[in-house]
Each structure stands twice: as C-alpha cells, then as structure tokens.
Amino acid sequence: MSVTNKLYIVTGAAADSDIGLAICKKLDECGARLILVGRREQALNETLNQLEGSSHVVSPFDLCNLQDIAAWVKELVKQHGAIDGLVHSASYQGYSPLRSISPKQINQYLDINFSAAVMLTAAVSKAKQFNPGASLVFIGSAAGQRGLKARTLYAASKAALTSMVQSAALELAAKKIRVNCVAPAVVSGKKAEQQFATLGEEQSQKLKDAHPLGLSKPQDVANSVYFLLSDLSRNTTGVTLAVDGGFLAG
Ligand SMILES: NC(=O)c1ccc[n+]([C@@H]2O[C@H](COP(=O)([O-])OP(=O)(O)OC[C@H]3O[C@@H](n4cnc5c(N)ncnc54)[C@H](OP(=O)(O)O)[C@@H]3O)[C@@H](O)[C@H]2O)c1
C-alpha cells in the first residue's frame, strides 16, 4: 500500500513545528490526504497553505481533552471516511529537574505525550473507524531510551510510547493495524536552538558530539514516518525506530 489517496491524521501539524511540518510535506508530496491537528487553527492553515494537495483539511483540537478524543475521531470518520493511519507528533517538551517537579507538571507531559496517544489508538482502532492495513506512528524520542539529566518527565513520557506500541501492536495485529514509534535524538531546527540556548556553549557542544553522524534533519524523521506508514514496512509492528545520528549507539 502506498500512501497515495490514503487518509492520515497528523497531530502537531502547525507550521512552526519543524518535524510536524516536514511530515505533512512528505506525505503531501506522496499524494496522501491529511487531517491536520493542533490547537491553533491559524498555525494549521499556515501548514495547509504550504501543501500541494487540495483534499487536506484542518481540525483544531486540544488533545489534552482526553475524554473527547473518541467522539472527535468518530466525527472525523463521519465527515472524511475511515482512517488509513495516524502520526502523533504533538508533544510537550522541556526540562524538569527533580528539585522543582510538581504533580501538575507530571500531567503536563503525560497527557499530550502519552495519554492522548493511547486514546487516539483506542479511537482509531474501533470497528469502522479504520481501513485494513492501517498504520499508527508515534513520535517518541531517544530521551525515552536512555537516561538524561533533568529530563525525567519528558523521557518517561516517551519511554511509555515505546512500551505502548509493543502491547498495542500485539492487540491490534488481528485487525491488521500496525503500531510503531520513531525516536529522534536532537533534530536541527527551532527546538534544538532553544535547547542549545538553555544548555550553554560547552554542554551544547557535548550534546552535538554525541551524534556521530550529526543532528538529524526534520526530513529524516519524515522519511522514517513515511516508511512506517507505507507498505514498505508491511511486516513491521511494535518497534521503535531510532533516527538519531548514532546517539543511542554511544
Ligand atoms: N525537536 C527535536 O529535537 C525532537 C527530538 C526528539 C523528539 N522530538 C519529538 O518530535 C515531535 C515534534 O517535535 P517538534 O520539536 O517539531 O514539536 P513542536 O514544535 O514542539 O510542536 C509540537 C506541536 O504539538 C502541538 N500540540 C501541543 N500540545 C497540543 C495539544 N494539547 N493538542 C493538540 N496539539 C498540541 C503544538 O501545536 P499547538 O500549540 O497549535 O497545539 C505544536 O505544533 C514531538 O513529539 C517531540 O517530542 C523532537
């Protein structure tokens, strides 16, 4: 199954999200139909304006409203037809040193990074909501695969995705739905620049040096997402694919 004419929900699709935008552009180039999701309608329309295809739509929605996700997905299917797949790129990113952690902060990370992913998986995999061969892809992080100072909450929320895709892959194999994760390390772009500004010159250089092949580009992540959505990966499910310039090999 190529992605041409297939219908995908892409969360975190705002034009100012380097990775979300790159994913939308890649899938658009390959002829997919997209439902662009994020909280800010204007930022989604800015992405829409950069795409060639004429059948994409925007659906502004706050995915932290976990209890509303099932009804929202049902309505999307009613309006646009059954879903061929999902890319969950929306996230909350940041540093959370243990000395200043609060219960509210835990939810801030878990709600969007993990709980929304679970609710999306449950909603899309309900009878009549998906087409055979559907593929669900979650954007995790190399931070979820190894310890990083001051990243307890972000890292744990992304590690939870790696675990979730394994169990969901087993449960959904009978429905021929594949479930996978893509785990980038630092990706060049606005978020990386912010991260380097926070860390200072010396720590930033150390972090860059921990990527033997250099930082990934947003397009590298988008290419792996394309692979996991398409039939090129038809027999791959339950995996976390690192796109990390060798970060995890060290
Ligand atoms: N950048 C990196 O170096 C890097 C490295 C490893 C992994 N990642 C992962 O890659 C993905 C994309 O990263 P990025 O840096 O390009 O992301 P980003 O710029 O932070 O974009 C995140 C997007 O999520 C949307 N979002 C946040 N909360 C939401 C909510 N409650 N409901 C709906 N949408 C919500 C935001 O749009 P609205 O504000 O309009 O809602 C935004 O467009 C993330 O999952 C991130 O964890 C990034």
Q: Whose CA is nearest to atom 18 of ligand 1?
A: 17
Over range 208-236, report the average pLDDT.
Answer: 98
Segments forming the whole domain that contains residue 17: 7-186+217-243
* Ligand 1 environment, Cβ below 6 A: 11-12, 14, 17-20, 38-40, 43, 62-64, 89-91, 93, 112, 139, 141, 184, 186-187, 189, 191-192
Q: Is residue 79 one of the residues assigned to a domain?
A: yes
Angstrom distances, CA of residue 174 to CA of 73, 75, 88, 132, 168: 21, 25, 22, 11, 11
Structure token pair of residue 197? 């500004």
| CATH at 233 | 3.40.50.720
Contacts of 197 (CB under 8 A, 6+ apart): none
Q: Is residue 195 one of the residues assigned to a domain?
A: no
Q: Is residue 209 one of the residues assigned to a domain?
A: no
At position 221, the amino acid (one-letter code) is V
Q: Is residue 108 one of the residues assigned to a domain?
A: yes
Q: Which of 191, 195, 224 to mutate to test the pocket of ligand 1 (most atoms within 8 A of CB)?
A: 191
Q: Is residue 70 one of the residues assigned to a domain?
A: yes
Over range 61-82, report the average pLDDT.
Answer: 98
Q: Whose CA is nearest to atom 19 of ligand 1?
A: 17
Asked if pLDDT for residue 67 goes beyond 70, the answer is yes
Share of the chain above pLDDT 70, in %: 100
> What per-residue confidence (pLDDT) applies to 1?
61
Query: How far is ligand 1, taken at its centre, from the CA of residue 53, in Å?
Result: 23
Query: How far is ligand 1, taken at its centre, from the CA of residue 100, in Å?
Result: 23
Q: In what order do the strands lie in the sheet with 83-88?
A: 57-60, 33-38, 7-11, 83-88, 130-139, 178-184, 240-243
Q: Whose CA is nearest to atom 46 of ligand 1?
A: 91
Query: How far is ligand 1, taken at its centre, from the CA of residue 184, in Å?
Result: 13
Q: Is residue 191 one of the residues assigned to a domain?
A: no
CB 78 within 8 Å of CB 56: no
Q: Whose CA is nearest to atom 23 of ligand 1?
A: 12
Over range 39-45, report the average pLDDT.
Answer: 98
Over range 180-187, report the average pLDDT.
Answer: 98
For the chain, the domain total comes to 1
Q: Is residue 210 one of the residues assigned to a domain?
A: no
Q: Is residue 15 one of the residues assigned to a domain?
A: yes
pLDDT grade, residue 225 (50/70/90)?
Answer: very high
Over range 37-64, report the average pLDDT.
Answer: 98
pLDDT digit string, tens, across residues 82-139 = 999 999 999 999 999 999 999 999 999 999 999 999 999 999 999 999 999 999 999 9
Over range 25-48, report the average pLDDT.
Answer: 98
> What per-residue confidence (pLDDT) applies to 250?
85
Count Cβ atoms below 10 Å from residue 77 Cβ, excluding itself: 18
